Amino acid sequence: MSTLLQVQNLSVSVGQHCLVDDISFHIDAGEVFALVGESGSGKSVTSLAIMRLLSDGLHIASGDVHLVGQSLFTLTEAQMNGVRGRRIAMVFQEPQSSLNPVHTIGRQIGEVLTLHRKRSGAELKQDIIALLEEVGIPDAEQRASWYPHQLSGGQKQRVMIAMALACEPELLIADEPTTALDVTIQKQILNLLNELRKKRQLGILLITHDMGVVAEMADRIAVMRHGQLLEQAPRDVFFSSPKHEYSRQLIHSLPRQDAFRKAIAQEETPLLEMNNVCVWFAQRKGILQRIAGYTKAVDGISLTIGHGETLALVGESGSGKSTAGRAILRLIPTTYGEVLFNGLRIDQLDESEFIDLRKRIQVIFQDPFSSMNPRMTVREIIEEGMISLNVGGNDGKWNKSEREQEIRRILQRVGLEAEHLDRFPHEFSGGQRQRIAIARAIAVKPQLIICDEPTSALDVSIRGQVLQLLQELQQEMGLSYLFITHDLSIIPHIAHRVAVMKDGKIVEQGSTQAVMQNPQHEYTQQLLSAVPMIPEHV
Amino acid sequence: MTFPRFSDFSMFQPMLLWSDILIFILLFSLIAFFINLSRNPVARARWRHVFTTRIGSGAFIVIVFYVLIALLDSLHFRTALPPVEGSDGAISQEADGTVHYSQDVRSVLDIILHDLDSQDEKTYSAPFALYSFAKENQESDAGYVIRAFPRLEHGGKHIVRDEEHVLDIWVKTARAIGLTILPCLLVIFLHSAWRRRKPPVEHPLPWTVIYTTLTILVLLCGWVLNLSQYYHILGTDKVGQDVLYQSIKAIRTGVLIGTLATLVTLPLAVVLGIAAGYFKGKIDDVVQYIYTTLNSIPGILLIAASVLLIDVYIETNPEQFKLISERADFKFIALCFILGVTSWTGLCRLLRAETLKLSQLEYVQAAHAFGVGDWRIIFRHILPNVNHIILIALVLDFSAFVLAEAVLSYIGVGVDPSMASWGNMINEARAELARDPVVWWSVSAAFILMFVLVLAANLFSDRVRDAFDPRSVHGRV
């Protein structure tokens, strides 16, 4: 195979600070080269440097990039425009924001074709339809005149790929192409990319942080950290004998899939019981705002969570799993059904009666950046719930110094230091923020914590630490978790039992081992088979 | 409204107009705001960032200068009238022991400007002129009646021969500047020496700009105060009043209308906007209905109608307004109020949208999960996070209102004609600019003073926006 792209000693810096530090690699035609690393490691900057699309302030300090023997850094801007899109194409992470919402998809693909290949008229239309068919959009002739909002997330990503392929580029740069997608869709897109590169002898630079995707797709792998290329190896060599300590860490960041948590013996009354709970949102129409129908976000789910138990609620985006969590917290009213806490019916209590239960049921959100008021200090954040819910020691009230002591104790428990109390959330990293969010939740001494995707915004290495902390706390405080997630790989590690949700309904429920190893429902099987796996021989 | 008078000070009677009360309440709340601010490290750092920019601190000094003039002009009093002829002499010796005070309400600023208002000419005169702008019948030495430009009564009356005129202006200018620049330089020297003894701070204030701006302002004051004793620096208007005096008096009107009208819009916009965005549902419907309706009525029409209503009220209740200035003041406050009530919709919309967004954020949901009450959530989670919007709108609105006053006075529904305002001056300029030769000084004076204030406010608001906008680099929390 011939060398398609050659990157030699590339360095990118902003001011004195080096973002990409002297990296070299090459990509052959028809090869998938994966650039792996956590956020901030310089992967995306590298790809932008290759395209010469670095934003102001960043500059290429040294090095050279050759595309089939031609140096890209010596081209004029006009010549470079002929390369971008024509010979090197790019697919981004967010298909939603990469497509222009006011133009039809046909027109957006057509724009690239007219620009670079001077197509027009019937020929143009034919090309568009052929491309859409190639990326697997059904009924392509009609869909060409659709607008982006009429397509699903996976279809939009397919359209993005069709646009990238329109000019038959030699190299495709895919920057986290599946991160925003659900696992089943991810599987489809990855398959599509694989097919295309075989058919077209396309070189693909795949940028990702997901080791599963890498294991599935890549021919060769390079690991980046702090702008440096730590290791480069063919896939099999990489997974069987990683040279660098950090590579080993990355591979092991995926918890083992064969060690399951055993279900624990339960008392008579479960901690939380949901019977046939529905959350419907009314759709209103007309001037009089009459109710025309319902969006059934949660449609009759029943589940139980025992004392000290973790129930994982799994499903793809839009399946209603977060809504179910919010319904337990009464952030959203339930339409039908009953919710029992310790045998007591709680879904019909009014706000003042419910306040007592707010101490017992707490929540940890997904995004550690938006879950804390940026204008409050850590102390204020943790203290807020304690004050408003009147949390005290064994005999009720705490005075100020006692509360202060408790806050310090909790903060240290979650792995932060007491000096951090007067800082603001923005001074912490994502993982530290999530620790603060955990501290805030356990400060009111709850029995049940609803964890709404608490680790999906975190890097893999930090994800493991946060999960570890949650488990330790479970053992110490006898907590129960409702663990809402779309990430199937962490479930064996954290959950005792699993419930799988699809379109507002629970399709399968059971012990983790049973569901993961012997899924009964078709959808569960589909989900599990879509999860990219790392080869076992590590 | 009047204070109880003290017999010892019966020469003067302090007087508080309603707008004076408001401006001082405003001053105290501003001081309280800044004291409060100094306790919050984040806010302090941001404000400090505003002042470390050169434009920020320069514009701030100019604004403070205007505000100081407005404050001085808000300390009102009335002087006692000399006893009526025929009574037996001294003040407060009348039969019933009452003293009569002048109908004229004067302010401390008038004293500083050494009674420029009493030095009226007959009609127009150009800046620094010795002679009137209009010809008059005069009797010559020989007894003929001729038409010529008469000498001014006050402007340049110390000049004996016309040839001395230009030289005299330069000499007086040089003397004024010389006298004021020396103390300025001394103060700057002492201050920078003192500053050097302290350890250097990380982000120093731009002292060069601060010194320069202050020096220019002090020099200007010195020059104006000095020369205005001898000349009409900016000429006189149609009825012979000093234009300089008028345009300086108009500063109070401009500053007050900017701040008061903004203060009226604030509570309306903040309360309604946040309530609509946070509670949604019926409340949102009502608020949206109100502001859509209000927005679809032409603003000028609404203001003109309201001003006419106020006029009618004043006409039918003359007993409540004994003095001309009381009447003018009432009309002025009413105007501020009307301006405020008709222009809160923009900010309200912004706040509603922002609150809608914020109330869906996870930290607000987390607060709900902690059982925090609605009011507490609004005050602790919503309000602090829309503060930057309010602040930016506040400063931008200020300059918009100053300009709006000019427009409204121009079409005749602005402040009372007896009250000095830039709008009134521009209104008169309609006739003045149609004359030949053109009378340009009145409109130019109003234009320059207004321009400087609005420019300073806009530049300052730019810096404030930069410092507080979460999307900008400096504003990032």
Give dist(CA A138, CA A124) in Å, integer: 19
Residue B387 near residue B468 (C-beta atoms within 8 A): yes
Residue B384 near residue B470 (C-beta atoms within 8 A): no
For residue B124, report the phi and psi dihedrals to the nearest 5 degrees. Answer: -50, 140
What's the pLDDT tens digit per position in A35-81? 988 877 888 889 888 888 888 778 888 888 998 888 888 888 888 88
Strands A203-208 and A32-36, bridge-based pairing: parallel
**Best interface-test mutation with B: which of A370, A378, A449, A456 has the largest number of B CBs within 10 A?**
A370
Q: Three-state DSSP class for B209?
A: helix
* Residue of chain B whose alpha carbon sits nearest to that of A361: B369
Higher pLDDT residue, B227 or A289? Answer: B227
Q: Where is average pLDDT lowest: A298-302, A308-312, B110-114?
A: B110-114
State how far the alpha carbon of A46 is from the alpha carbons of A13, A205, A300, in Å: 11, 11, 49
Q: Quick one: pLDDT band at residue A294, thresholds 50, 70, 90?
A: confident
Average pLDDT over residues B59-69: 91
**A444 contacts on B by Cβ (under 8 Å):** 370
**A371 contacts on B by Cβ (under 8 Å):** 361-363, 366
pLDDT for B90 beyond 60: no
Q: Quick one: pLDDT band at residue A437, thresholds 50, 70, 90?
A: very high
Arithmetic mean of pLDDT over chain A: 85
**B470 contacts on A by Cβ (under 8 Å):** 374
From the CA of B204, how many Å to the nearest CA of chain A?
23
Task: Please list the helix, strand and coil fractions of chain B in percent, rounded to the nearest 5, in that order.
Answer: 65, 5, 30
What's the pLDDT tens digit per position in B185-199? 999 999 888 888 877
Q: Quick one: pLDDT band at residue A482, thresholds 50, 70, 90?
A: very high
Give dist(CA A247, CA A238) in Å, integer: 8
* C-beta atoms of A375 and B371 within 8 A: no
What angle do helix axes A378-388 and A430-442 make, rounded to 10 degrees? 20
pLDDT of residue B474: 45
Residue B381 near residue B367 (C-beta atoms within 8 A): yes
What is the DSSP code string of A189-201? HHHHHHHHHHHHT
CB atoms within 10 A of CB B71: 19
Strand partners, B218: none
State how far the alpha carbon of A469 is from the alpha carbons of A442, A460, B327, in Å: 12, 15, 72
pLDDT for B7 beyond 60: no
What is the DSSP code string of B406-430? HHHHHTT-SS-TTS--HHHHHHHHH
* C-beta atoms of A370 and B373 within 8 A: no
Give dist(CA B154, CA B130) in Å, integer: 9
**A437 contacts on B by Cβ (under 8 Å):** 366
Q: Is A147 an interface residue toward B (CB < 8 Å)?
A: no
From the CA of B373, how many Å to the nearest CA of chain A?
8
Give dist(CA B142, CA B138) in Å, integer: 11
pLDDT of residue A255: 66
Among B300, B296, B407, B418, which residue's Cα sits nearest to residue B345?
Answer: B296
What is the DSSP code string of A155-174? HHHHHHHHHHHTT--SEEEE
Q: What percent of chain B has pLDDT over 90?
A: 13
Arithmetic mean of pLDDT over chain B: 83
pLDDT of residue B89: 45
Q: What percent of chain B has pLDDT over 70?
A: 92
Q: What is the DSSP letter of A456?
A: T
In A149-168, the residues whose Cβ lies within 8 Å of chain B are none
Where do runs of H (alpha helix) occur along A396-521? 400-413, 430-442, 460-477, 491-494, 512-517
* C-beta atoms of A388 and B477 within 8 A: no
Give dist(CA B112, CA B245) in Å, integer: 11
Q: Quick one: pLDDT band at residue A1, thresholds 50, 70, 90?
A: low
Chain pair A-B, CB pairs under 8 angstroms = 65
pLDDT for B266 beyond 80: yes
From the CA of B295, how many Å to the nearest CA of chain A?
21
* Residue of chain B whose alpha carbon sits nearest to that of A442: B370
pLDDT for B37 beyond 80: no
Q: Three-state DSSP class for B243?
A: helix
* C-beta atoms of A365 and B362 within 8 A: yes
**Best interface-test mutation with A: which of B362, B377, B382, B391 has the largest number of A CBs within 10 A?**
B362
Residue B58 CB burial class (10 angstroms; 0-12, 13-18, ≥19): buried
Task: Name the residue with tokens 């956590």.
Answer: A38
Give dist(CA A136, CA A104) in Å, integer: 17
**A448 contacts on B by Cβ (under 8 Å):** none
pLDDT of residue A204: 92
pLDDT for B8 beyond 50: no
Residue A147 CB burial class (10 angstroms; 0-12, 13-18, ≥19): middle
Strand partners, A295: A281
Contacts of B274 (CB under 8 A, 6+ apart): B351, B352, B355, B378, B382, B383, B386
From the CA of B471, how many Å to the nearest CA of chain A?
13
* Residue of chain A whose alpha carbon sits nearest to that of B365: A331
State how far the alpha carbon of A149 is from the alpha carbons of A152, A153, A155, A293, in Å: 8, 9, 10, 22
What's the pLDDT tens digit per position in A144-158? 888 888 888 788 888
* C-beta atoms of A375 and B363 within 8 A: no
Residue B136 near residue B150 (C-beta atoms within 8 A): yes
Higher pLDDT residue, A99 or A481? Answer: A481
Contacts of A485 (CB under 8 A, 6+ apart): A312, A313, A314, A451, A453, A455, A456, A491
For residue B449, report the phi and psi dihedrals to the nearest 5 degrees. Answer: -65, -40
Among A217, A196, A215, A184, which residue's Cα sits nearest to residue A136?
Answer: A196
pLDDT for A484 beyond 80: yes
* Residue of chain A whose alpha carbon sits nearest to that of B382: A373
DSSP H or E stretch at residue A508: strand A505-511
Residue A329 near residue A363 (C-beta atoms within 8 A): yes
**A363 contacts on B by Cβ (under 8 Å):** 365-366, 369
Among B371, B381, B385, beta carbon nearest to A358 = B371
pLDDT for A384 beyond 80: yes
pLDDT for A475 beyond 70: yes
State how far the alpha carbon of A304 is from the alpha carbons of A276, A313, A346, A451, A480, in Å: 11, 11, 14, 16, 11
Q: Is A365 an interface residue toward B (CB < 8 Å)?
A: yes
- Residue A129, both tokens: 């339809």
What's the pLDDT tens digit per position in B376-401? 899 888 988 888 888 778 878 888 88
Residues of B with CB under 8 A from a CB of A: 42, 361-363, 365-373, 376, 380-381, 384-385, 470, 476-477
From the CA of B361, how many Å to the nearest CA of chain A?
6
Q: Quick one: pLDDT band at residue B434, thresholds 50, 70, 90?
A: confident
* C-beta atoms of A366 and B476 within 8 A: no
* C-beta atoms of B369 and A358 within 8 A: yes
- Residue A213, both tokens: 């995707």
* C-beta atoms of B367 and A384 within 8 A: yes
pLDDT of residue A396: 61
What's the pLDDT tens digit per position in A230-278? 889 998 888 888 888 888 888 877 666 667 777 776 777 888 999 999 9
pLDDT of residue A254: 67
In A418-457, the residues whose Cβ lies within 8 Å of chain B are 424, 426, 437, 440, 444
**A326 contacts on B by Cβ (under 8 Å):** 365
Average pLDDT over residues A525-537: 76
What's the pLDDT tens digit per position in B307-328? 888 889 988 988 888 788 888 8
**A372 contacts on B by Cβ (under 8 Å):** 363, 366
Give dist(CA B141, CA B161) in Å, integer: 17
* C-beta atoms of B369 and A389 within 8 A: no
pLDDT of residue A257: 66
Q: Quick one: pLDDT band at residue B153, thresholds 50, 70, 90?
A: confident
Among B362, B368, B477, beta carbon nearest to A374 = B477
Among A371, A374, A389, beta carbon nearest to B366 = A371
Q: What is the DSSP letter of A422?
A: G
Among B146, B125, B127, B126, which residue's Cα sits nearest to residue B136?
Answer: B146
